[in-house]
Amino acid sequence: MKKVAIILSGCGVFDGAEIHESVLTMLHLEMAGASYQCFAPNIDQHHVVNHLNSEEMNQTRNVLVEAARIARGEIHDLDTLNANDFDALAIPGGFGVAKNLSDFAFKGGESTILAALKTTCAAFNQQKKPIAYVCIAPALVGHIHNKGIKATIGNDADTAAAMSALGAEHVNCHVDDIVVDEAQKVISTPAYMLAQSISEASTGIQKAMNKLIELA
């Protein structure tokens, strides 16, 4: 049985990990015959958003504590993730990727990413273990992989331009499909960058997780 590490960025589309994408990632990994373990950084969120009205709240929340809601408490600190213990890595989307795991939401092509995330992804990459990036997460591949890495966030021109500025080659992709960089073993799918429903997001994520296990 292949073992997959999943990195979450909080809980909730506007300030953390996208919940549907996270759950679908777990579901499709399990349906593909793999096991998974969730991780998240033990840091404060950039901010907290009221998901009822999209307004910022005067609160402080911890990414690991919030992500534990999705993982039903079965989650570890990202600092303890060792690539040697897993066959592959998956990173669901949500604004937490662009606000907590990086500052891509604010700086785009001038952004930086969390050191622990970069170190972890680089370790999987160096061991030639595949990584699946979902939704907005592929925007970070230029920070991690060799120049010219192929990936998709769907077809949003501004996000694609920022990815290109970071050294990635953006490939337009339909909601139900995936882009695979065979050389670097990187898989990406647009999910809720394009999806209008949970079933639409599910189709692409299922393809991505099946490919992840195949490459592992």
Contact indicator for 167, 111 with CB cutoff of 8 Å: no
User: Is 11 considered catalytic here?
Assistant: no
The token duo for 215 is 């490459």
What is the longest distance spanned by two Cα atoms in the chain? Answer: 45
**CA angle, corner 76, sides to 101 and 43, nearest 5?**
40
Active-site choice (38, 121, 135, 173): 135
Question: Residue 129 belongs to what H/E stretch?
Answer: none
Count other Cβ atoms within 10 Å, centred on residue 109: 14
What is the phi/psi pair of residue 35, to 5°?
-110, 160
Please tell me the distance from the alpha carbon of residue 105 to that of residue 97, in angstroms, as a whole number.
9
Contact indicator for 100, 13 with CB cutoff of 8 Å: no
Active site residues per annotation: 135
